[in-house]
Structure 1
Amino acid sequence: MRSSASPTSASCEPGREPRRIPRMTNPAERLVDLLDLEQIEVNIFRGLSPQESLQRVFGGQVAGQALVAAARTTDGERPVHSLHAYFLRPGRPGVPIVYQVERVRDGRSFTTRRVTAVQQGRTIFNLTASFHKPEEGSFEHQLPPARKVPDPESLPTVTEEIREHLGALPERYERMARRQPFDIRYVDRLRWTVAEAKDAEPRSAVWMRAVGPLGDDPVVHTCALTYASDMTLLDAVRIPVEPLWGPRSFDIASLDHAMWFHRPFRADEWFLYDQESPIATGGRGLARGRIYDTEGRLLVSVVQEGLFRAL
C-alpha cells in the first residue's frame, strides 16, 4: 500500500496542509485511502483523521494506521505475526495523527517495530509489532470453531435488522451506514430491550467483509482487518447487560488490544469473528475473539480490554 507520491516527495514543509480524504462513494476505497499514510520524514508518518460526529477517534483506525507505519519501515518480505497496543488518550476527530516508528530490531527471522501515535503534541497510542520471515513449521493443529453458524448470505445486515425493528433508520445510523467500510451480519438476532439482554451469555459472533475490493496488497488486508477487529469485540461484554443498539448505559473505551496473525487472508472476503467475554469486573471487561474463514480455518486471534463507566 503506497500513496501515488513517493515517500520522499511527500515530505511536509512547515505550514503545509496535510492531504485530505477525497470524497468517494465506495467506503472500501475510503478505508484504503485512510490507511495510506503520508511519509513526512524518515520513520515518521502522518495519517488522516476524518471529521466525525464522535467523541473520539475510532480505535481501530489508529491501530490500523500504526500498523501501516510499522510495515512501511520493514523490507516487505515479512508479514506481521503479532501486535500489542495501548490506547492512552482519546484522539480528536478531524485532526491528523503523526506516527513515529522506532526500529527496535532487524534479526534473521524476526523484525520488531515500536510505534508512537502523537496528536497535537500528546501521545495517544502505542503499538509494538513483530514481523516473521515465512518458514515451514514442523507440525500444525488448531481447535475447530466452537459452534456451527449460518451462512453469511442467509443473514440480514445490521442496517436491515434496524430498519425491520424501527421501521426506518434513524439519521445517525443512516450516516454511519453510508460510511461503513464493512458489511456486518450478526449470527444471533439483535436484542432490543434490557429484558431480552438480561442473563444472556457474554458471547457474540458476526460475519464481516469489506463492502468493496481492497486490492491485492497483503498489508492493506492485514491493516483493514486490524481496523475491523475493534468494531464489535466489546459487544461480548455488553450483551448480558444492555441491547447492542439503542441508547447506551455506559461510556466505553478500549484500553489495550492484542492480535496474533496465523494465516494469510483477504479482508474483502467473508470472515467469522467469534467473540466472548470471560470476565467483567472493576469497571473493565475482557473480550477474546477468534477470526475464521468460511472453511473454518483460524486466521487471527484477538484479545482486548475495555473500560465501562455508567453514564
Structure 2
Amino acid sequence: MSQVLDELVALLSLETIEENLFRGASQDLGFPQLFGGQVLGQALSAACQTVMADRHVHSLHGYFLRAGDALLPVVYQVERVRDGGSFSTRRVTAIQKGQPIFFCSASFQADEPGFEHQPSMPEGIEAPENLPSEMDLFSPHAERIPQPMRDKIFCAKPIQIRPVNPGDPFRPKPSEPLNMYWFKADGSLSANPALHKYLLAYASDFGLLTASLRPHGASFWQPDMQVASLDHALWFHRDLKMDDWHLYVQESPWSGGARGFSRGSIFNRAGELVASVAQEGLIRRRESRA
C-alpha cells in the first residue's frame, strides 16, 4: 500500500469516542471547503462499525447541510434506528463546531439470493493503461490553478483517475452531458469488504457535477462558478475491489434553478455493475468565488 493510500485508509477508520460516537480527522485537498467524499466515506465507516458483521451496506442517502472545515476533525453520531430480521438501518450525523454539516441514512442487508439483471457497460472504451492520468492532463494548465490548490493537485494521490472523455476545464465548450473515467486505489488493500465500500463512497463524489456543467460550456475551474454538492445517494450492488480499475459513467439528464442533477454507474473491468450513484448540486454563476 502506498503512503498516501495508507493515510486515506487511516482517515476512514475513525476513532471511537463512546458507543455510537466517532471522530475522524480531516483532509485538506486545497478546496475552499471540506471534500464531500471524505464525509461520505467516514459517515459510512461510522455506520458500519455499529452493524452485525453478516450485514452489508446496500444503500446510503445523505444531505450536505453546511460547508465543512478541512482544518478541523469531524464527529459522527450514529443512531441505531432499526435491526430487523434481514435489514438494519442507521442514521449518521456529521458535526463540526457543534453544528451538523451532513447527515445520512444507511441500510444494511444480510446476503440472500434473488433475481438479477443490469445494464451493459459501454463498449469501445479505451483501457485505463492506455490513458493519461488526470494529473498529466492538468499539467499544461498548472499556472492557471491558484497556488494553494496547485500544491494539493500536483502531489501523490490515493485514488488514480484516468479520464476517458476529457475536456479543457479552463476553456470548456458545450458538449453532451456525459463524463467518464477509470479509477482505482493506488496500491493493494486488505480483503475487508467494508473498507472497499468506504473507499468507493469517498471516490463516488469525484466529478459527478461535471456532467451537468458540460452542456453549458461551464467548468468548476472557472472563477465565476459556484459548485457544491447538495445531496448524494449511493447504492452498492455487489462486493468490489477498489485496488482494481472501475469505470465511472456519469450522465446528467437535467439542470435548472441553479441546480444540476447527475447520476452515475460504476462497473468493474468484468462489466459487472457494482454501484449506482445520484447527486444534485448547486451550479451557479456569480461575480466572485470568495
Contact 2:212 2:255 (C-alpha < 8 Å) held by counterparts? yes
Q: What SS is found at the alignment partner of 1:201? A: coil
Q: Deviations over 1:6-29 (max 9, x none)?
A: xxxxxxxxxxxxxxxxxx972211
TM-score normalised by L of structure 1: 0.86
Structure-2 residue corresponding to 1:43: 20
Tell me the equivalent position of 2:125: 149
**Structure 1 pair 140/254, CA: closer, same or farther in 2 (3 Å)?**
same
The alignment yields a C-alpha RMSD, in angstroms, of 2.0
Does the 8 Å CA contact 1:98/1:117 hold for their aligned counterparts? yes
Work out whether residues 57 and 93 of structure 1, in 8 Å CA contact, stay in contact via their aligned partners in 2. Answer: yes
Tell me the equivalent position of 1:287.
262
Partners in 1 of 2:40 and 2:141 — Cα distance? 33
The residue type paired with residue 117 of structure 2 is H
Q: CA deviation at 1:244?
A: 4.5
| 1: CA distance, partners of 2:108 / 2:169 | 42
Equivalent position to 2:274, from 286, 299, 306: 299
CA distance in 2, matches of 1:206, 1:244: 17
**Do residues 203 (structure 1) and 178 (structure 2) align?**
yes
> Cα distance, 1:134 vs. partner?
0.2
1:230 correspondence with 2:205: yes
1:309 Cα shift?
1.8
Q: Indicate the SS of the match to 1:31.
A: helix
Question: What is the TM-score of this pair, normalised by structure 2?
Answer: 0.92
Provide Cα deviations, 1:30-50, integer angstroms capped at 9, x if missing partner.
Answer: 110110100001100011113
| Amino acid paired to 1:159 | M
Cα 1:132/1:201, change in 2 over 3 Å: same
Contact 2:262 2:279 in 1 (8 A): yes
C-alpha deviations, 1:238-284, integer Å up to 9, x for none?
A: 22234657434311110000011001101111000000000110000
3-state SS, counterpart of residue 222 of structure 2: coil
In structure 1, give the amino acid aligned to 2:126.
Answer: P
Question: Could you tell me how far apart the structure 2 residues matched to 1:168 and 1:156 are?
Answer: 20
Alignment partner, residue 191 of structure 1: 168
1:75 to 20, 30, 52: 52
Aligned to 1:7: none
Q: 2:75 maps to what in 1?
A: 98
Please tell me the residue identity of whatever aligns with 1:155: L
Instruction: For 1:192 and 1:38, locate their aligned partners in 2 and report how far apart those are by CA, in whole Å.
Output: 38
User: Structure 1 244/260 Cα, relative in aligned 2: closer, same or farther at 3 Å?
Assistant: same
Once the two structures are aligned, what percentage of the paired residues are identical?
A: 45
Equivalent residue number for residue 32 of structure 1: 9
Structure 2: which 5+ runs fail to align?
Answer: none
Distance across 1 between alignment mates of 2:223 and 2:165? 20
**Distance of 2:283 and 2:230 partners within structure 1:** 10
Contact 2:2 2:187 in 1 (8 A): no
Contact 2:2 2:186 in 1 (8 A): no
Post-superposition offset of 1:53? 3.3
**Counterpart contact for 1:56–1:92, Cα < 8 Å:** yes
Residue equivalent to 1:239: 214
Tell me, yes or no, if structure 1 residue 162 matches structure 2 residue 138: yes
Query: In 2 relative to 1, CA 56–136 (structure 1 residues): closer, same or farther, beyond 3 Å?
Result: same
Residue in 1 aligned with 2:41? 64
Q: Which runs of 5+ in 1 are unaligned?
A: 1-23
Give aligned pairs, total: 284
Q: CA deviation at 1:152?
A: 0.6
1:144–1:248: structure 2 CA closer, same or farther, 3 Å change rule? farther
